[in-house]
Amino acid sequence: MIALVLKHWRLASAAGAVLLLLGCLALYRESLLRDGGRRALDQVEMKNAAAKDAAQRAQRGVDDCYDAGGLWSTITGQCSR
């Protein structure tokens, strides 16, 4: 086996270089996928936080209406006193 590799050292070197290149490309692809997934999760978390804040603001409006003795209309989304 070693004698065969030594006899065809150019072919063995080229095969090694190709395998090294393929390994590097696979690692690069994996890092791109990981970064894309992280970016997507960050976007979802940001949208979830914005939705949570909007829901809390809306709930405060309803609570303020009831605290002031008003009646909240679910049809109009307004407080009537």
The 3-state secondary structure of 2-55 reads HHHHHHCHHHHHHHHHHHHHHHHHHHHHHHHHHHHHHHHHHHHHHHHHHHHHHH
Task: Give this prediction's pTM.
Answer: 0.54
The per-residue pLDDT for 6 is: 78
Confidence tier at 48 by pLDDT (50, 70, 90)? very high
- Kindly tell me if the per-residue pLDDT of 13 is higher than 80: yes
